A and B are shown apart, each in its own frame.
Chain A
C-alpha cells in the first residue's frame, strides 16, 4: 500500500491548478515541474521494477462502496513502459510549450495537466470503473485544447472528435457496469476489480455482447478503419504539442485496453471474433498506408500512418499465438510508435516555420539545405517509423508478424505488405519536405537551441530504445503472456 502512484497521477493536475493561481511570471515553471516530476518517478520505477513479480506499488482503497468501485492502482509489465512513455512525451511537450507559450498559457496548462492525469490514471487503474472514468476524462481536456487553440475549423473538429469517441466510450461504460453486475452473485458483492473479474468470467454469449462494446470503444479511440472518421479533422486542427501527446499516448490507451481488459475478461469472445479483428487490423494497415502516401498535408500523412501502425498493434494483440509473441510485439510497437510520432509532430512545427507557415508537403522541399541537424534528426525518426532493421520498431513489427504467422499465416503475409508500404509513405514524406527542389516560400535555416532541447532527447530515447528493447520485453513478458494465454488456454 503506497501513495506513490497517486502522487504520480495527480501531480500534473495539482501543479497545473497551482500554476493557474500563481502569478503570470512563474506559471510556466509550475507546468514544467508538473510534467518533469512524473518523468523522474517513471524512471525510478523502471529501475526499481522486478520483472515477473506481478503488480507493484499497489494502492487499493475502498472508494465508492455503494457501487463496488475501488480506488485501485498498480504497475506491472503491461503498463510500466507505457507510463514511462506518457511521462516522457508530456514532459517533452510541456518543455516545448514553455519555450513557445500559446495564448492564455495558464488555461492551456490546466487542460494539459488534466490530460496527463487522465492518461496516467487510465494506464494505472486496476479497477474497471476507475479505468472507464479516466478513459472518458481523457477526452475533456483534448476537447478544449482543440476547440480553443486549434486551427480554423477547430470547433467542428472538437465536437466531431468528442461525439465520435464518446459514443464508443459510453457504450463501454454500460458494458463495464454490465460486466460487474453480471459477474457478481448478488447486489452486495459487486466488484469492478480486474482481479475479481478475471476469476469470474461470464458466459460466452454475454461475453460477445460486452466484447463488442469494449472493442468498439477502443477501435474508435485508436482510430482503426472504418472508425477513423473523426481523425482527419482532429489532426488538422489540434495544436501540435497537444497532438504529439494525443497521437503518442492516447491511442495507446486503446491498445492497452485490449491487453488489459478485453483479452483477460472476454477470452471466449476474443477467440471467436479473432478473425474479425484481424481483418479490421489488416484493413487499417492497408487503408492507412495508402492514404498516407496520397495525402499532402503532413499532419494527415502522420495521422493515416498512425492508423496503419495501430493496425499493426491490433494485429499483434489478436495474433493469439501460444507464446504471446504477437502481443509482446504489439506492446513494444505501442511504445515505439509513441516515441517516433511525438517528435515527428513537433518537427512539423519546425518544417512549417521554414515553409512559410504551410503544412503541405507540396509547399516544402529543400528544407535540409541549410539545416543539417534538423535533417539528421528527422531522418532518424523517419527511418524508425518505417521500421528500419536496427530500430526497435523493426523488432516490434517482426515480433507481431512472427506471432501472426504462427496462428494465421495468410494474415501475416498480407500484413507484411504494410511494412513495405510504410517505407513508401515515410520516405515520400521525408524526401518531399527535406530534399527536392526548394519550394517557393521555403527559407531553410537550422533549428534553434530551444527546439533541440526538446527534440534531441526524444531522438536519443528512440536510439536508446533501439539498442535495448529487451528491457521492455523482459518487463512485459509475463504480463503479456498471461493476457494472451488467457485466451489461448481458455479456448482449448
Chain B
C-alpha cells in the first residue's frame, strides 16, 4: 500500500493561509495589549505576504491537485494575489479600527484569513463539492466580520442581514449543484463537461447556480442586500467585501461556466448578458441618489459587477483575461476609495456621509488626490487603469459578437459619472462649512443588552488624528498603481493573459 501523493508545492499557498489562521488565532489569545494591537496584524500581513510570494513561485506550474479537485493554475494564483492584496489593505485599514478590539484581534484577523482561504479554495475548485466548501468557508467568516462593530446597531443588522440572505444564496446554489450532479452524474467539472446533454434538469441546475452565485457577486436582481450590508459593516470589512468577495465570485463563475458548462454557452450566455445589462442599469441608477459613500460604492460595485459579468459572458480567453484584468484594477481603485472613507470617518465624525469629504482638497491633498483618481478610474477615464479595463472588456465583447453588451458598458459608464463626479465635487469644490452636522448619534445597544456597557457609551467626541500613515499609505499606493497601470498596463495584461490561457478549451 502506498500513501497518497501530495503536491506540497502547489498546495503551499493554501498551507500558508491555514497556518496563518492558526498562528494568528493563538497569538491573539495573549493578554499583552502590544501583542494584540500590533503583533497580530503584523502576523496577518506576514501570512498574506507569504501567500503572495508562494503564488509567484508557483506561477505557470499549473498543477491539478487532490484528485483533481483543486486547480492551482494561473487563474487561481492571479486571483489569490487579488484576494491577498485586498486582505493586506484591510489589515492596514483595520489597524486603528474599533471593530477588531470589540471582537478580539485574534478572532478578527483569523476570520479575515479564513475568508481568504475560502476564496482561494472557491476559485481553485474543479469539483462541485469543493466549490460549495469554499463558498461556505468564504461566507461564514464574513457574516461574523460584518457584525464586529458590536456596539453599533447597524453593524449587527448588517451581519444578520448578510447571514440570512447569504444563506438563501447558499441554499439556492446547493440546490443548483445537486441538479447539475443529477443531470450529469458527476461532480467533477471535466466529468460534467463530458456528460452534459441538453435537458431540463441541467438547465434548471444552471439557473439555480447562477442565482446562487449572483447573490454573492451582487448581480441584479440579487443585489438588494448589498447597500444595507455595505453601509452597516465596519468600513474596512466593507472594503474587503467589495473587492475580494467580488473577485472570488467572478473567479468561480469563470471556471464553472467557461470550463464545465462551456458547451452550453449559447444557452446561458444570453441569459447572463441580460443579467449583466440589468445589473449595470440598476447599479448605476441606484447610486445616483446616495449620500452615504458606502452605499454609493455599494451600488457602484453592483454596476461594476455588471461590467465584469460581460467578461464572463463572452466566454473566450480574451473575455477571461479582460475579467481578471478588470478585477485587479477594480481592486486597487476601490481600496484607494475605502482608505479615504475610513480616514474621514475617523477624522470628521460625519460618518461615511458624502459631506465628510467637503474641503478635503484644500485640507488633505494626500487623501484628496487618491479619492479623485479612484473615482475617475471607476468611471473609466483615460490615463487611469479603469480606462484600459473598460477598453479590454469592450474589445472582448465586440470580438465575440456581443457588441451590444459593449455599448451597455459604455452607457453605464456615462450614467456612472453622475455620482462619481459628485464625490469629486465634494472633495474639491465644496467647503466644509456646507456640511450638515448630524444629530447626536443614537446610543447603540450592545448585543444582549449589557447595561453597564451602555452606560459607559462610546466616545462621541470628534478625534482629529493628525497622521494616519497606514491609511495614507494604502490610498497613495493604490492611487499610484491606478495611474501607473493606466499608463503602462503591459505587466498586468501579461498576468491576465496567462490567467485566461489557464482555462483550456476556450476559443
Asked if A140 contacts B376 (CB within 8 A), the reply is: yes
- Choose the segment among B18-26, B168-176, B345-353, B409-417 that binds chain A (4+ C-beta atoms closer than 8 Å): B409-417
A177 contacts partner chain B, Cβ-Cβ < 8 Å: yes
Residue of B nearest to A169 (CB): B414
CA distance A147 to B358 in the complex (A): 14
Within 8 A of A (CB), among B369-423: 376, 380-383, 387-388, 390-392, 394-395, 398-399, 403, 406-407, 409-411, 413-414, 417-418, 421-422
Asked if B406 contacts A174 (CB within 8 A), the reply is: yes
A67 contacts partner chain B, Cβ-Cβ < 8 Å: yes
Question: How near does chain B come to A197, taking the closest CB pair, in angstroms?
Answer: 15
B29 contacts partner chain A, Cβ-Cβ < 8 Å: no
A134 contacts partner chain B, Cβ-Cβ < 8 Å: yes
**Chain B residues closer than 8 Å to A167, beta-carbon distance:** 414
**Chain B residues closer than 8 Å to A412, beta-carbon distance:** none
**Chain B residues closer than 8 Å to A147, beta-carbon distance:** 424-425, 428-429
Within 8 A of B (CB), among A141-196: 143-144, 147-148, 154-155, 158-159, 162-163, 166-167, 170-171, 173-174, 177-178, 180-182, 187, 190
Asked if A173 contacts B425 (CB within 8 A), the reply is: no
Taking A136-B382, A159-B425 as known contacts, 14 extra A-B pairs with beta carbons closer than 8 A to each other, sorted by chain A number, are A66-B490, A129-B391, A147-B424, A154-B429, A155-B425, A163-B421, A170-B380, A170-B410, A170-B411, A171-B407, A174-B409, A174-B410, A177-B398, A181-B399
CA distance A124 to B428 in the complex (A): 31
Within 8 A of B (CB), among A173-230: 173-174, 177-178, 180-182, 187, 190
21 contacting pairs across A/B (C-beta < 8 A): A66-B392, A66-B494, A67-B391, A67-B392, A67-B395, A133-B382, A137-B381, A137-B383, A148-B361, A154-B429, A158-B421, A159-B417, A159-B418, A159-B425, A166-B417, A174-B403, A174-B407, A177-B395, A178-B398, A178-B403, A181-B398
A50 contacts partner chain B, Cβ-Cβ < 8 Å: no
Asked if A140 contacts B490 (CB within 8 A), the reply is: no
**Chain A residues closer than 8 Å to B392, beta-carbon distance:** 66-67
Asked if B398 contacts A163 (CB within 8 A), the reply is: no
**A137-B383, A171-B410 as given contacts; A163 in contact with B425, CB under 8 Å:** no
B497 contacts partner chain A, Cβ-Cβ < 8 Å: yes
Encode contact with B along A462-475: 1 for CB under 8 Å, 0 otherwise. 00000000000000
Asked if A155 contacts B429 (CB within 8 A), the reply is: yes
B203 contacts partner chain A, Cβ-Cβ < 8 Å: no
Question: How near does chain A come to B59, taking the closest CB pair, in angstroms?
Answer: 18
**Chain A residues closer than 8 Å to B318, beta-carbon distance:** 187
**Chain B residues closer than 8 Å to A136, beta-carbon distance:** 381-382, 387
CA distance A180 to B414 in the complex (A): 22
Question: How near does chain A come to B277, taking the closest CB pair, in angstroms?
Answer: 14
Would you list the 7 A-B pairs with minimal beta carbon distance, nearest first? A66-B493, A133-B382, A170-B410, A174-B410, A147-B429, A137-B382, A181-B398
A25 contacts partner chain B, Cβ-Cβ < 8 Å: no
Question: How near does chain A come to B315, taking the closest CB pair, in angstroms?
Answer: 14
Contact partner of B388 (CB less than 8 A), chosen from A64, A140, A148, A182, is A64
Task: Classify chain A's interface size.
Answer: 35 or more
**Chain A residues closer than 8 Å to B418, beta-carbon distance:** 159, 163
CA distance A400 to B361 in the complex (A): 47
Which secondary structure dominates where chain B touches chain A? Answer: helix
Contact partner of A64 (CB less than 8 A), chosen from B429, B430, B489, is B489
**Chain B residues closer than 8 Å to A66, beta-carbon distance:** 392, 490, 493-494, 497
**Chain B residues closer than 8 Å to A170, beta-carbon distance:** 380, 410-411, 413-414
Encode contact with A along B349-363: 1 for CB under 8 Å, 0 otherwise. 000000000000110
**Chain A residues closer than 8 Å to B407, beta-carbon distance:** 171, 174
**Chain B residues closer than 8 Å to A134, beta-carbon distance:** 382
Interface residues of B (CB under 8 A from A): 318, 361-362, 376, 380-383, 387-388, 390-392, 394-395, 398-399, 403, 406-407, 409-411, 413-414, 417-418, 421-422, 424-425, 428-430, 489-490, 493-494, 497
Question: How near does chain A come to B294, taking the closest CB pair, in angstroms?
Answer: 22
CA distance A132 to B413 in the complex (A): 15
Interface residues of A (CB under 8 A from B): 64-67, 104, 107, 129, 132-134, 136-137, 139-140, 143-144, 147-148, 154-155, 158-159, 162-163, 166-167, 170-171, 173-174, 177-178, 180-182, 187, 190
CA distance A133 to B494 in the complex (A): 21
Question: How near does chain B come to A202, taking the closest CB pair, in angstroms?
Answer: 13
Residue of A nearest to B494 (CB): A66
Residue of A65, A137, A166 with highest tally of chain B CB at under 10 A:
A166
**Chain B residues closer than 8 Å to A148, beta-carbon distance:** 361, 428-429
CA distance A181 to B407 in the complex (A): 14
**Chain A residues closer than 8 Å to B395, beta-carbon distance:** 67, 177, 180-181, 190
Contact partner of B406 (CB less than 8 A), chosen from A133, A137, A154, A178, is A178
CA distance A85 to B411 in the complex (A): 34
CA distance A171 to B391 in the complex (A): 12
**Chain B residues closer than 8 Å to A65, beta-carbon distance:** 490
**Chain B residues closer than 8 Å to A177, beta-carbon distance:** 391, 394-395, 398, 406
CA distance A281 to B395 in the complex (A): 33
Question: How near does chain A come to B58, taking the closest CB pair, in angstroms?
Answer: 23
Asked if A144 contacts B421 (CB within 8 A), the reply is: no
Asked if A140 contacts B381 (CB within 8 A), the reply is: yes
Asked if B490 contacts A173 (CB within 8 A), the reply is: no
Question: How near does chain A come to B234, taking the closest CB pair, in angstroms?
Answer: 31
Question: How near does chain A come to B117, taking the closest CB pair, in angstroms?
Answer: 32
CA distance A136 to B377 in the complex (A): 12
**A163-B414, A163-B417 as given contacts; A174 in contact with B394, CB under 8 Å:** yes
CA distance A67 to B424 in the complex (A): 30
Question: How near does chain A come to B385, taking the closest CB pair, in angstroms?
Answer: 12
CA distance A278 to B399 in the complex (A): 34
Question: How near does chain B come to A73, taking the closest CB pair, in angstroms?
Answer: 16
CA distance A58 to B425 in the complex (A): 39
Question: How near does chain A come to B224, taking the closest CB pair, in angstroms?
Answer: 27
Asked if A144 contacts B382 (CB within 8 A), the reply is: no
